[in-house]
Structure 1
Amino acid sequence: MSKIEQFLKDKLQDRKNNLSIRNLSVNNFPFDFCSNDYLGFARSAELKKLIDDHITTILHYLNGAGGSRLLSGNTAYTEETEQLIADFHLAENGLIFNSGYDANVGLLSSVPQRGDTIITDELIHASIIDGCRLSHATRYKFDHNNINDLEDKLKLAKGNIFVVVESVYSMDGDIAPLIEISNLCEQYQANLIVDEAHATGIFGNNGQGLIHQLNLTEKVFARIVTFGKAMGVHGAIVLGSKSLRHYLINFARSFIYTTASPIHNIVAIRSAYVFLDKSDHQHIHQKIDLFRKELKKQSITALDSKSAIQGILFSSNEATKLAATILQSKGFDVRAILSPTVAVGKERLRICLHTFNTDDEIISLVKNLKELN
């Protein structure tokens, strides 16, 4: 066996030994409490028909883009869609990326420079961490949602300063204190970047996000909005000024050096926004309220969350995996989130609520959670 093959096997064995090995699965369980399809758009027959009907109105469209947007992959339709989305979120401009990962890596690796400072929440998404690593800027982390610790880090910052947070955190489901963070950024002349991946479609008028709900649209340097969660399709957009858009076109490597999304994907994104405009924006919050009420009734402790992401902590990878296996055996698609994805001792069941989960399914899930104790 070659040295590199032995290395691979040894690293995988380490993961098996601490019960953190990852495997792909094609298992489907009857009751979805796992996916990020909060509003049911990904499974919506009505949205699918809207996409299918819309694509027929575009003549001579290609199956693939044929190249990057700087070569053959750009269309007027894509640029119109970017502006429509920017207008919806009350932003000046926007640039579509192929995924949320590409958007965060592209933005964070290209805008901050050597001598600048990036300050991120300690629980920030891996895509943002990777973007920061590709930047030559100095990076600090502050304790999760801790305003005092953020200010301590701001006092150390030099050059152009970037504070990067999520509005709703993907693993804990809790909400950043965005008004306080924005005020600090203003005080220290820092540029606020907010990933709205898990707030889009859930918070704000018509699902415009938490930045919109809190009237902070003029206070942020950039927002990242992804389409693969509540919007039910795929891709992402960086929202900001016209100058930021043009800068990213010139310097964001994850935009420049990749084949553009096919027109069908752009149609899907645009159709999802049309569909969002006529959706019931209180329905998901009714499901969240029911789940929290049932947890309280059953005296179950959960992470504090007003979002569609709910977390039940366990003491180890082994205990969390066992809990998930028991729930799955009863038809509930609930997945274990293990270390190193989360910190040791913070392993949890990550439960996602959806508009299509019936009240009976939610009540039954909570009763089964109680039986795990």
Structure 2
Amino acid sequence: MNRAESYLSARLQERADAGNLRRLPAIHAGVDLCSNDYLGIATHGLPQAFMPYDPGTGATGSRLISGNSAFAEETETFIAAFHSAEAALIFNSGYDANTGLLSAIAGRDTVFIYDELCHASIIDGMRLSLCRHKYRFAHNDLVQLEELLQKHSTAGQVIVVVESVYSMDGDTAPLAAIADLCDSYEAQLVVDEAHATGVIGPRGEGLVCALGLHERVFARVHTFGKALGCHGAAIVGSAVLRQYLINFARSFIYTTALPPHAISVIGAVYRYLASPGFSNAALHDNIAYFHRQADETGIPGLLPGASAIQAVVTGGNEPTRQLAAALRDAGLLVHPILHPTVPLGMERLRICLHSFNTLQEIDLLVKTLQQWAGK
């Protein structure tokens, strides 16, 4: 074993000794209560009328060389209008969108202020920027956010970064109040809408549009790999922002564009969301039913939240693994979320509800959780 592999092996052993070594999960059959396929598009497909055509397998290059097309730009125009924005720019993933956006828009004297539960891609985007000033505030804590804004608002450009729906807790940001604070201190607001896209709003436009805040948010990231059941992401905002990202976002400039087929699928899904036949009501009915059943039986550790993500904090990697195994034995697929993905003591089950889950499946989920709690 060479020195490089010895170093890697030692780091892996440290993880194993701490009981938090990550492994790809085993493949099990069962009821899907773990995926981000909230609307069932990825597994059940689109209605036949919206099925995409197959225009080709490869983009042939970056968007700035040979990978651009009229179809890609038309899709971006549709996405922008759907989310009540002036312009949109497609990236290859939500991770690429966040790292490209945040690394590009900040100079050395920019101040980033961000929620402590922001996704790793947001943290990495800020790290990749030239920005030397990054401050986090306690989750959804408006008092601490305002204290940081008061302290740093005279320093120059201030950018506040939050998510609309948080991926591990499933709760929503108090976006209207955050937008008010940003307006008061002349800060720019960036919102990651990954887990709100397709889910929140009558057409799935996201929380920003649902609250009528689209003209007060500098940039939004809409990810396609969750409820939309495909791949990629779009940053929506002003035409100036789009042109700036084309020039400065490295994760856009220096990568092969999404293939035409992927663009076709994205466009098809958005046409479906915009159609009269689309509804996400079944998903929200299932979320409401889960909470009614949970309130009746009581589930210790269940965090409040009205999104498709429901978190049950168990505390400790081993108890979380054991509860996930009990659910799997009942035919329910819920994966444990362990440290270091979440802080020590906050290990949990991340339950994802879907439009296609039946009431009987939800009853079984609640019953199994309650039985486990009673042990």
TM over 0.5: yes
Contact in 2 for aligned 1:47/1:272 (Cα 8 Å): no
Structure 2 spans left out of the alignment, 5+ residues: none
What is the CA–CA distance in structure 2 between the aligned matches of 1:372 and 1:14, rounded to whole Å? 31
Residue in 1 that maps onto 2:90: 96
Shift in Å, 1:69: 0.3
2:209 maps to which of 207, 212, 219: 212
Determine which of 246, 249, 252 is the counterpart of 1:252: 249
Aligned to 2:79: 85
Task: Establish whether residue 63 from structure 1 lines up as the match of residue 62 from structure 2.
Answer: no
Distance, in Å, in 2 between the alignment partners of 1:329 and 1:16 is 25
Are the counterparts in 1 of residues 30 and 328 from structure 2 also a CA contact under 8 Å?
no
TM-superposed deviation, 1:51: 2.9
3-state SS, counterpart of residue 216 of structure 2: coil
Alignment partner, residue 267 of structure 2: 270
Task: Kindly report structure 1 stretches of 4+ aligned residues shifted beyond 6 Å.
Answer: none
Q: Provide the residue aligned with 1:58 in structure 2.
A: none
- Residue 130 of structure 1 and its aligned partner are, at CA, apart by 0.1
Which residue identity is paired with 1:201? G
Residue in 2 that maps onto 1:290: 289
The Cα shift of 1:347 comes to: 0.4
TM-fit CA distance, 1:47: 4.5
TM-score by length of structure 1 reads 0.96
Residue 166 of structure 2 aligns with which residue?
169
| Partners of 2:46 and 2:116 in 1: CA distance | 39
| Residues 88-167 of structure 1: pairs in structure 2 closer than 5 A | 88-137=82-131, 138-157=133-152, 158-167=155-164
Q: Give 1:40-51 correspondences, 5 Å limit.
A: 40-47=40-47, 50-51=50-51
SS state at 1:29 partner: coil
Contact 1:34–1:352 (CA<8 Å) still a contact in 2? yes
What CA distance in whole angstroms lies between the structure 1 residues aligned with 2:26 and 2:217?
Answer: 40
1:25 shift after superposition = 2.9
Percentage of matched positions with identical amino acids? 51
* 3-state secondary structure, aligned to 1:279: coil
Q: Among residues 190, 194, 213, which one is paired with 1:193 in the alignment?
A: 190
Q: Please say if residues 118 and 139 of structure 1, whose CA atoms lie closer than 8 Å, have aligned partners that are also in contact.
A: yes
**Amino acid across the alignment from 1:120:** Y
Deviations 1:63-90 (A, max 9, x none): 2011000000000000000010100010
CA contact (8 A) 2:100 2:250 kept: yes
- Provide the rounded CA distance (Å) in 1 between the counterparts of 2:26 and 2:19: 20
Inter-partner Cα distance in structure 2 for 1:181 and 1:70: 36
**CA distance in 2: counterparts of 1:125 and 1:166, whole angstroms:** 8
Question: TM-score by structure 2 length?
Answer: 0.96
CA RMSD of aligned residues (A): 1.2
Q: CA deviation at 1:45?
A: 3.5
Gaps of 5+ in 1: 56-60
| Equivalent-residue separation in structure 2 for 1:334 and 1:48 (angstroms) | 30
Q: Is the 8 A contact 2:46 2:269 kept in 1?
A: no
